[in-house]
Amino acid sequence: MAKWIWLKEGQSVDSHAEFYIPLTFSGEKTEIRISADSDYTLYVNGRFVSCNQYRDFPYYKIYDAIDITEHLVNGENVIAAEVWFYGAPNFSYYSSNAGLWYEIYQNGTLVKESDESTLSRLSRTYQNGMRRKISPQIGWAYHYDTTKEDAWKTELCEGFEASALTEGISEPIPRPIERLDILPAVNAKFIRTEENRMLYDLGREEVGFPTLRLTSPAKQKLKLWWGEHIADGKVRGIIDCRNFSLEITVGEGVTEFSNYFRRLGARYLELEYETPVEIDHLTVYPSEYPVRMLPFDFGDELRNRIYEVAARTLVLCMHDHYEDCPWREQSMYAMDTRNQIICGYFAFGETKFPRAALRLFGEDDRADGLLNITTPYKGDMHPIPSAIPSFSLHFITMVYEYYLQTGDLSLLKETFPKLQKIVNACTSRMAEGLLPMFEQTAGAWNFYEWTDNLSGKSTDITSPYETPLNCLYSIALGRMQAICDWLGEKADFLSIKNSLNQKIAETFYNKERGLFVDRLGSETYSELTNALAILCGAATGEMAEKIAETLAGEHQIVKCSLSMVCFKYDALITVNKEKYRDYILADIDATYGKMLAEDATSFWETENGQIDFGKAASLCHGWSAMPVYYYHTLEAKKN
């Protein structure tokens, strides 16, 4: 039985280990099953074969099964595994213990497995313990020194010794989704040289692994910058605490460098040097999840183009799990993921990827029952808030919608314990017939929307009761009841929902304005709050019709941002789909047509583009792919 192993000298934060695995081959079909904490890159006889550990938990660990037959030669071979142990959490990594696990099968028979006899050493090419973050969400950067390379990937070199066993990681199970495709290198275009930097354009937003070939007159350290913006005249590589750069030391002469540990989400690459170099190529190998875009035709050139770019935005935000934005964060948030999943059903007709993501959410182990802010996430990254309660409620909707699309009861059964914990975390807090806000001191961020009044940053709140949270809880209760019915579980969430809706209407509805206020004691009104009031059933009949007229008309209430405009559209469709169809389509035309007019190759995080969030707004964000869903919902034509 394979064992989890690591370096005999022990584990340390931000460290790279090398594992040397000799293998005899005589023509048999050969497969390696491999898992690592935190990430791995696999070589056979010095040639790159695979990479990318599925993001998981130490108690829900995943392995990749890789057929390496075509990479082997008769006789003796060398399998080399590089493992990068982060040792500290980020927004898609659950901090655990360092480790490598593998099994090698030939013609179905286990012939080699990880144990103490596997030879290993600390990497000599990476700067171990550097601990420089790219961003709080992505985690560490690396510094790789090509001048310290030896031939360890093809022959045994000095410094290797027997490994040690490591604990705290479960026996892995098969990867629930396909492995990523690594595509041919992009033909990047040189733009200009300025001071000590050379700037390249990938032609469109890409997500992939860096590769370069250059000639240097001397040994020197280079910096590779990447980003989506060059409005400042160069790649915007440093933004507040973020530093979008990797370091590479090269020697005199020709250097070829490719690295598969860190995916870069970018439109532009920039190489900074100490002494001028001659670059043969500087680009990326795109890394994409293998999906097939289904044919689509709206019968309108602009809308077809919007659909195409929206679908590509989805692809750019799908790797080992859904990602909010591939440049700045690469993190899986529940609300963002909900938008991506419902679009993906129509764009790709594929359900394996969403199922795996929902299963991963279901493994979240937060003590209070809510979901952590992202998944996987350990919850020890203070002072960053560690939960967004409203996003936990969106997770119930995600599971509900998955069943409507697939009829797959097994996923409902697997996630049901987590769904129950989320509902219980809310019902246990009910007071005066309403759900009060969650305490910030417990790590909660009472966020609903990227607008000032609903972003959870207000300091003048005198009441603990907010309308969006109660509306979302009402929606979740209705969907939880449906899930219980499908599973044959006894429940009476509808009575709680009906009482809550009545209380929402009594507490938050302003009859004079004909609108729901954002929170008790405030006088702010927003599209999101009022859309949710319709969707949860607190506003019905004539009340809902008047709110819908306001939402679709000229008004002074706070507009939805791109992240939440889907709820406004859903509310209008709920009230009268035919009446508001043209309004919704025209709104999409205006919003997304503007981005296309400004050369967008993927859709932005906000309508304002790169200037928001302190000039850190992404130009590729998963939640902005929503036109895919609405074009289908509003009865577009398909080929």
Torsion sign (Cα): 620, 621, 624, 628: positive
Instruction: Reply yes or no on whether the pLDDT at 453 is more than 50.
Output: yes
314 to 44, 343, 631: CA distances (angstroms) = 33, 8, 15
The predicted pLDDT at position 535 comes to: 98
For residues 566 and 562, give the distance between their C-alpha atoms in angstroms, rounded to a whole number: 8
Q: Is the preceding omega at residue 276 within 30 degrees of 0, hence cis? A: no
Contact criterion met (CB below 8 Å) for 390 and 335: yes
| Other CB atoms within 10 Å distance of the CB of residue 156 | 12
For residues 561 and 565, give the distance between their C-alpha atoms in angstroms, rounded to a whole number: 6
Phi-psi region of 203 (alpha: psi -120 to 50; beta: other; left: phi over 0): left
Give the model's confidence band at 636: pLDDT under 50 very low, under 70 low, under 90 confident, else very high: low
The predicted pLDDT at position 169 comes to: 96
For residues 354 and 399, give the distance between their C-alpha atoms in angstroms, rounded to a whole number: 10
Span of 22-26, 375-379, 440-444, 589-593 with lowest mean pLDDT: 440-444
Report the percentage of the chain scoring pLDDT > 70: 98
Give the model's confidence band at 460: pLDDT under 50 very low, under 70 low, under 90 confident, else very high: low
pLDDT in tens, 538-552: 999 999 999 999 999
Instruction: Dump the DSSP string for 239-290.
Output: ETTEE-EEEEEE-SEEEEEE--S--EEEEEEEEE-SS--EEEEEEEEEEE--
pLDDT in tens, 21-78: 999 999 999 999 999 999 999 999 999 999 999 999 999 999 999 999 999 999 999 9
Contacts of 275 (CB under 8 A, 6+ apart): 216, 217, 218, 220
DSSP element (H, E) containing 475: helix 467-487
The predicted pLDDT at position 384 comes to: 64
pLDDT in tens, 139-159: 999 999 999 999 999 999 999
558 to 114, 457, 467: CA distances (angstroms) = 58, 16, 14
Quick one: which of 89, 83, 210, 82 has its CA closest to 139?
A: 89
Tokens matching residue 184: 């041919």
Burial 529-541 (b: 16+ CB within 10 A, else e): bbbbbbbbbbbee
In 188-237, where do the E strands start and end? Answer: 189-194, 197-216, 220-227
Report the residue count for the chain. Answer: 639
Q: What is the mean pLDDT of residues 426-434?
A: 96
SS3 41: strand
Give the model's confidence band at 89: pLDDT under 50 very low, under 70 low, under 90 confident, else very high: confident
Average per-residue pLDDT for the chain: 96
Phi-psi region of 410 (alpha: psi -120 to 50; beta: other; left: phi over 0): alpha
Rg over CA atoms, the chain: 26
Quick one: which of 75, 76, 63 has its CA closest to 103?
A: 63
Give the model's confidence band at 383: pLDDT under 50 very low, under 70 low, under 90 confident, else very high: low
Span of 219-233, 366-380, 502-516, 616-630 with lowest mean pLDDT: 366-380
Contact criterion met (CB below 8 Å) for 261 and 41: yes
SS3 49: strand
Residue 574: what are its φ and ψ, rounded to 5°? -65, -40
Phi-psi region of 615 (alpha: psi -120 to 50; beta: other; left: phi over 0): left
pLDDT in tens, 179-196: 999 999 999 999 999 999
Contact criterion met (CB below 8 Å) for 82 and 16: yes
For residues 386 and 379, give the distance between their C-alpha atoms in angstroms, rounded to a whole number: 6
Contacts of 555 (CB under 8 A, 6+ apart): none
pLDDT in tens, 350-382: 999 999 999 999 999 999 999 999 999 986 655
For residues 126 and 145, give the distance between their C-alpha atoms in angstroms, rounded to a whole number: 6
Residue 271: what are its φ and ψ, rounded to 5°? -105, 125
Angle ∠(604,381,176) on CA atoms, nearest 5: 65
DSSP element (H, E) containing 584: helix 565-597
For residues 284 and 210, give the distance between their C-alpha atoms in angstroms, rounded to a whole number: 4
CA dihedral 587, 590, 596, 601 (to 10 degrees): -20
Contact criterion met (CB below 8 Å) for 361 and 334: yes
Which neighbouring-strand residues pair with 121? 18
pLDDT in tens, 210-240: 999 999 999 999 999 999 999 899 999 999 9
The predicted pLDDT at position 243 comes to: 98
Residue 286: what are its φ and ψ, rounded to 5°? -60, 140
For residues 100 and 63, give the distance between their C-alpha atoms in angstroms, rounded to a whole number: 10
Contact criterion met (CB below 8 Å) for 525 and 452: no
Q: Quickly count helices (H) and strands (E) in the chain.
A: 12, 28
The predicted pLDDT at position 328 comes to: 96
Instruction: Reply yes or no on whether the pLDDT at 639 is more than 50.
Output: no
Quick one: which of 269, 127, 109 has its CA closest to 185?
A: 269
The predicted pLDDT at position 638 comes to: 45
CA dihedral 498, 501, 502, 508 (to 10 degrees): 170
588 to 304, 307, 548, 554, 594: CA distances (angstroms) = 12, 11, 17, 17, 10
pTM for this entry:
0.96
Give the model's confidence band at 440: pLDDT under 50 very low, under 70 low, under 90 confident, else very high: confident
Contacts of 609 (CB under 8 A, 6+ apart): 595, 598, 617, 619
